[in-house]
Structure 1
Amino acid sequence: MRGVRRWTALITTAAATLAAGLLVLAPTAAFAAEGCTVDYKAPSQWPGGFTANVTVTNLGAPVDGWTLAWTFPSGQRVTQAWNAVVTMSGAQVTAKNVGYNGAIATNASVSFGFNGSWSGTNTDPTAFTLNGVLCDGGVGGPTTPPTTTPPPGGGPDPMATVAAMQPGWNLGNSLDSVGADETAWGNPRVTQALIQNVKAQGYKSIRVPVTWDGHQGAGPGYAIEAAYLTRVQEVVNWALAADLYVVLNIHHDSWIWIADMQANHATVLARYNAIWTALAQRFQNTSPRLLFESVNEPQFNNVDDATAYGLLNELNTSFHRIVRASGGANATRILVLPTLHTNADQGRLDALNATIGALDDPYLAATVHYYGFWPFSVNVAGYTRFNAEVQQDLVGTFDRVHNAFVSRGVPVLIGEYGLLGFDAHTGTIEQGEKLKFFEFAGHYARQRNVTLQLWDNGQHFGRTSFQWSDPELFAMLKASWTVRSGTASSDQVFAERASAVTDKTLTLNLNGTAFRGLRQGTTSLVQGTDYTVSGDQLTIKAATLRRLLGSNPAYGVRANLHAEFSQGAPWRISVVSFDTPLVQNATGTTASFAVPTQFRGDQLATMEAKYADGSNAGPHDWTSFKEFSRAFQPDYAAGAIRLTPDFFAAVADGRAVTLTFHFWSGRTVAYHVTESGGNVTGSTT
């Protein structure tokens, strides 16, 4: 990640996984089962094949993530599954939840099915375990998650170490800054107090990105500036003293000079090796809680993927050789290897798997980055909500890294995660939709046994205030480390001033929790009087809304309610007074044009741009919906919607463009702009 980033079916069948013979271990966070029953039925059978349905009822405490295991008594095989990921090892079967059915409340049930094959007899299995607990109808104490066997050599257990690093945090835009020193990108110097406060927030690991380019001497030695190396060591030692795990890497050098490796092979490799030789020597006997990451977001100019994979393999192999040869604690220090671009596409994962297999070293971990489904992450193409497609992108990514590495005993660090829109404006993604993303990311990371390290370039946790810029986001993040939180279809209800107030209904996303009530501040609202709940439908009564809004309410948020659930963070619901926004005629230039806007309590969700013939106008012309902040941005304080120079650079001179502003209330407003010779005219008609 950089200060300004350079852009570069939930129903699962398990045939490929079955063919690989992989056994999926239950995630450590899921071991909350205390008792259960299983109803196994095979209603359809034919020569050589059958269909089975399995219903699991949880009798104990709520389960967040489940794994059901059994042994087939007659050698049957599972060939296809739905509503679960099913794998086999011999006659042993493991069925694991998919993304949407991982939570089982007390006395609740979940079902899945599969097709299988048999020969001879097809005897039903009778003994099942849920997260290690025998499903015999009794209720006992919670079980303990299984432990892995530490690798030989007396070093740290990589799987246990990476699991203990959850959650993690990035010290972004400091030592990785490109410039004179660590303040070049606007953050203050790192202090020991900052590190201690990160630890106090509950973080277990800190990733320390470092850019070495401006602090490395000339060839042939390419020596690291002594004072800079000492400064890096000081920050690392502060983190270790705070009992944090630490990841130290080579960061923006990846695109500054390492990317030229194909054209400048000898120099790049010499510089790279010089850095790791110096780091290996300096940290030779440092605590094993320090991990080395070979390079951040590796990329190579003007090469195809096959060539890039070879170049990255060469770097990773050289890194491994240098560190291991330095001895001391480095002989068994956990080394973190990235995929190309730290991307989780299958080809990238396969290439890194080949490198890890060839190195044959038990003290390795893999790393990728995840910034969400791109259209949602930057708010383009109309992806304003955390919908099923956005969620499935996350599920698919985490599933792939789990299957590629974790299931084979190689731990995974999601070394950076977040939303790309944060780079431009933390309001690019609507608050509630943002919270849903982070809630689900934390949950599913636990399901797939991967460790998350939040990217923070200073926009989240204050470097001197030690306060969160978005406390609501941090509350959701913190809850996601251990449990799921309930959410709702929206975090806003809009009441139009020009119309009579009516009941407002939201759909609750319980996520395995139970709804406990609705409150305003410390005052609990009365169910049946102030609101009703029917299944997953929460309805706030019109009389309650009128009371909260008051007579002749001003525009904007008039009250905040909070839905409380049996666990996790509460869900805020803002009661908003609004009328349809009004826009006005304007003139300006492509360098500075703004649409005068009376928002009247509403908020802008996205903007469409089309020419008169219906074709798409502006950047990203494959979609009519433009990118938030990059093409347009609301300025609520100034009462304007600003159109950027980037937007007009992609608009044909002299052609009228119809803009449609979409607001979160559901209202739309049309506007027309024409650019001619750098001058812009905007009108409502």
Structure 2
Amino acid sequence: MADAPPAAAPVRTAAPTAGCTVEYTVVNQWSGGFQGSVTVTNRGPALDGWRLGFGFPGDQRVTQGWGARWSQSGASVTVVNESWNAALAPGASVTAGFVASYSGANPAPTAFTLDGTPCGDPGGPTDPPDPPDPPGPGDGAPVLTASGNRLVDGDGRTRRMLGVNRSGGEFMCVQGRGIFDGPVDDASVRAIADWKANTVRIPLNEECWLGLDNIDPRYRGTAYVDAVKGFVGRVLAHGMTPVLELHWSWGRYTGNSAGCADEHASCQKPMPNARYTPAFWTSVADTFKDDRRVVFDLFNEPYPDRATPTADAAWACWRDGGTCPGIGYEVAGMQDLLDAVRATGARNLVLVPGLAYANDLSRWLAHAPTDPAGNLAAAWHVYNFNTCSTESCWDATLAPVAARVPLVAGEIGENTCGHGFIDRVMAWFDARGLSYLGWTWNTWDCSAGPALISAYDGTPTPFGAGLRDHLRALAG
């Protein structure tokens, strides 16, 4: 999009020889670090195992990698296949990504080898551009911080996050249909603000952000990251808080309540994975750590309770990750993801959802991850068809959490095309000064699921009219 600032260096392409072609790209860059990728194409005979080598001309240091096993000695970097991408047929390509630190300039590598054979000279490298300046502060877009059980701004005033979700960034790219579902231009963002919303939650896809091979090149890596950054900038420019959340992630799960059998990030998985998700949050946090108006929501709707035999096992999996009963991939727990965010130096507010598709906070306080920044809030989702959908359940399970930490209902909705249920949710949350966000600002059929609008100019569905009118009434 025209108003999304470019963040990537020009792709440096090695001239093909009998061995290989390599493309090196700076996908995203921030002060002192960057996200990069290398795509190697085999120009020789079929390979069963491969080793890529190159040297950084500056002081770049790889701190995290995916899609291969990364190592570095001095300036020399070695990238070795994983078991699942060892085979490289003639003409086939494979992409591996990384996060690295640097100081001063960030020049591109000038030579690559594949299994010791030179891939050619790419010519003189071009330094990547300096990272763009973050958007200027917008009226009413505060830095939110957890203070006891309240969210406060820089002046210590209590704030509530009240607004909408904007679905699309989690599914369009992996389906090869684009990046967002419908417009996210200035006019469409202004329409959200006109409802008197002060927050927009933006679901993301980890494979698209990290630029994995299975995603259409038009919608992955640099293109995806720049589109998200542009959208975040427009949300901030209209005085609203952007919430970035990981919605769809990698990992094959075919157990109870599985959303799909695909290992790729094409549906909601029971838990985040150790292969890619910490790297995703490292990159996202590095990208936005200098603008604490941006809020992070670690994982949309965990449901390890559907896979594990006991509640104890489910909550342990949720917090600590590792090998979890019933889940076939190595899990990254909430503590792992929070650690990845804080290791970048980011002190942004972080939302942590509970179990049962974020509808169960019954043991959240006992299992909450430890945050050295002390800036956590609990995230909860509710629809009229969820288990915890009554005031008595909210009194029993939500009230104790809300008494200790800020509580954000990251998704509220109903499948009736009306708003009777969310009226009850909003009344309960209003009485306690809590936050909530409606699902979703998309022009879908509200009789098939919660959809707030019938047009991106803000024309509401009957369901959406309930949220719009309530937000406007609260704003006076």
* Shorter-chain TM-score range: 0.5 to 0.7
1:565-590 superposed Cα distances (whole Å, 9 cap, x missing partner): xxx9xxxxxxxxxxxxxxxxxxxxxx
Structure 2 Cα separation of the partners of residues 289 and 266 of structure 1:
27
Question: Would the aligned equivalents of 1:367 and 1:414 in 2 still touch at CA under 8 Å?
Answer: yes
Match of 2:145 among 137, 156, 168: 156
Indicate the residue corresponding to 1:349 in structure 2.
362
Measure how far apart 1:176 and its partner are.
4.1
> Hey, what's the Cα distance between the residues in 2 that align with 1:280 and 1:355?
23
Q: Quick one: percent identity of the two aligned structures?
A: 19
1:195 aligns with 2:189: yes
Please say if 1:209 is aligned against 2:200: no
Q: Distance in 2 between matches of 1:199 and 1:265?
A: 33
- Conserved in 2, the CA contact under 8 Å of 1:344 and 1:397? no
What is the letter of the counterpart of residue 212 of structure 1? E
- Cα distance in 2 for partners of 1:199, 1:451 equals 16
Partner of 1:444: 428
Q: Distance in 2 between matches of 1:397 and 1:246?
A: 29
The residue type paired with residue 349 of structure 1 is: S
Q: 2:303 aligns with which of 290, 299, 305?
A: 299
* Cα separation, 1, equivalents of 2:343 and 2:243: 20
Bigger strand share: 1
Is 1:477 paired with 2:448?
no
1:334 aligns with 2:349: yes
Residues paired across the two proteins, number: 289
TM-score by length of 1: 0.38
Structure 1 equivalent of residue 339 of structure 2: 321
Q: Which residue type is aligned with residue 190 of structure 1?
A: V
Match 1:461 to one of 453, 461, 467? 453
Aligned-pair CA distance for 1:394: 2.7
Aligned match of 1:244: 240
- Say whether 1:268 aligns with 2:280: no
Change (3 A) 1:215 1:182: farther
Following superposition, the deviation at residue 213 of structure 1 comes to 2.9
Give runs of aligned pairs for residues 59-98 of structure 1, distance below 5 A: none
Give yes or no for the alignment of 1:310 onto 2:310: no
Partners of 1:451 and 1:254 lie apart in 2 by 30
Q: 1:289 aligns with which of 286, 293, 296?
A: 293
For 1:211, give the aligned amino acid. N
Deviation at 1:320, TM superposition (A): 1.3
Q: CA deviation at 1:354?
A: 2.3
Deviation readout 1:461-511 (Å, 9 max, x if unpaired): 2453332233xx545434544879xxxxxxxxxxxxxxxxxxxxxxxxxxx
> Structure 1's 274 and 230: CA in aligned 2 closer, same or farther, altered over 3 A?
same
Superposition map of 1:246-645 within 5 A: 246-253=242-249, 268-286=273-291, 288-300=292-304, 302-304=307-309, 305-314=311-320, 315-327=333-345, 330=346, 332-345=347-360, 348-350=361-363, 352-356=364-368, 358-359=370-371, 361-374=373-386, 393-408=389-404, 410-419=405-414, 421=415, 426=417, 434-456=418-440, 457-458=442-443, 459-470=451-462, 473-481=463-471
> Within 2, Cα distance between the matches of 1:469 and 1:479?
12
Paired with 1:256 and 1:195, the residues of 2 have a C-alpha distance of 35
Aligned partners of 2:271 and 2:302 also within 8 Å? no
How far apart, in 1, do the equivalents of 2:234 and 2:381 lie?
25
Structure-1 separation of matches of 2:179 and 2:253 = 19
Distance 1:396 1:213, change over 3 A: farther
Determine if the alignment matches structure 1 residue 171 to structure 2 residue 166: yes
Instruction: For residues 541-568 of structure 1, give each alpha carbon's deviation from its aligned partner in whole angstroms, at most 9, with x where no partner exists.
Output: xxxxxxxxxxxxxxxxxxxxxxxxxxx9
In the TM superposition, residue 267 of structure 1 has moved relative to its aligned partner by: 10
Structure 1 match to 2:60:
none
Taking a change above 3 Å as real, the CA distance of residues 254 and 245 of structure 1, as seen in their structure-2 partners, is farther
Output the CA distance in 2 between the equivalents of 1:441 and 1:217.
Answer: 38
* Helix, strand or coil at the partner of 1:295: coil
2:209 and 2:465 map into 1 onto residues whose CA distance is: 38
Residues 63-108 of structure 1 deviation map (CA, whole Å, 9 limit, x = unaligned): xxxxxxxxxxxxxxxxxxxxxxxxxxxxxxxxxxxxxxxxxxxxxx
Aligned letter for 1:169?
A: V
Cα distance, 1:156–1:438 mapped onto 2, change above 3 Å: closer
> Aligned partners of 2:253, 2:394: CA distance in 1, in Å?
30
Task: For 2:236 and 2:337, locate their aligned partners in 1 and report how far apart those are by CA, in whole Å.
Answer: 23
State which structure, 1 or 2, has the greater radius of gyration over its C-alpha atoms. 1
Q: Is the 8 A contact 1:443 1:480 kept in 2?
A: no
- How far does residue 303 in structure 1 lie from its aligned partner after superposition? 2.4
For residues 275 and 182 of structure 1, do their structure 2 counterparts lie closer, same or farther at Cα, with a shift above 3 Å needed? farther
Unaligned stretches of 5+ in structure 2?
1-142, 321-332, 444-450
Residue type of the alignment partner of 1:269: A
> Displacement, 1:279?
0.6
For the 8 Å contact 1:254–1:295, the answer to whether it is kept is no
Mapped partners of 2:285, 2:385: distance in 1: 37
Q: Cα deviations across residues 301-358 of structure 1 (Å, max 9, x unaligned)? A: 742333332222132111111111211xx1x31110010134444xx431x2123264
Asked if residue 225 in structure 1 is aligned to residue 221 in structure 2, the reply is: yes
Partner SS for 2:276 = helix
Distance 2:167 2:454 in 1: 12
Q: Secondary structure at the match of 2:145?
A: coil
Q: Alignment RMSD, CA only?
A: 3.8
Q: Give the gaps of 5 or more residues in structure 1.
A: 1-153, 376-391, 427-433, 485-567, 569-685
1:167 and 1:183 map into 2 onto residues whose CA distance is: 28
CA distance in structure 2 between the aligned counterparts of 1:338 and 1:361, rounded to whole angstroms? 18
- Aligned-pair CA distance for 1:360: 6.3
Between the aligned partners of 2:299 and 2:272, the Cα distance in structure 1 is: 16
Asked if structure 1 preserves the Cα contact closer than 8 Å seen for 2:246 and 2:297, the reply is yes
2 CA distance for matches of 1:175 and 1:231?
Answer: 13
**In 1: Cα distance, 2:334 partner to 2:280 partner:** 13
Q: Is the contact between residue 373 and residue 394 of structure 1 (CA under 8 Å) also seen in structure 2?
A: no
Q: 1:199 aligns to what SS in structure 2?
A: helix
Structure 1: distance between partners of 2:176 and 2:284:
19
Equivalent AA in structure 1 for residue 429 of structure 2: A
Q: Could you tell me which residue of structure 2 aligns to residue 146 of structure 1?
A: none
CA distance in 2, matches of 1:316, 1:167: 24
Task: Classify 1:240/1:482 alpha carbon distance in 2 versus 1 (closer, same or farther; 3 Å).
Answer: closer
Instruction: Please list, as runs of the form range in 1=range in 2, the aligned pairs for 1:47-62 lying within 5 A after superposition.
Output: none
TM-score (norm 2): 0.53
Contact residue 342 and residue 369 of structure 1 kept, 8 A: yes
Are the equivalent residues in 2 in contact too, given 1:442–1:481 (CA < 8 A)? no
1:208-234 deviations in whole A, cap 9, x for unaligned?
A: 011223453459xxx971221111111
Task: Supply the AA of the counterpart residue of 1:372.
Answer: N
Instruction: Provide the rounded CA distance (Å) in 1 between the counterparts of 2:409 and 2:270.
Output: 29
What does the per-residue CA deviation read over 1:133-154, in whole Å, with 9 as the maximum and x for residues that have no partner?
Answer: xxxxxxxxxxxxxxxxxxxxx9
Partner Cα distance (1:307, 1:196) in 2: 45
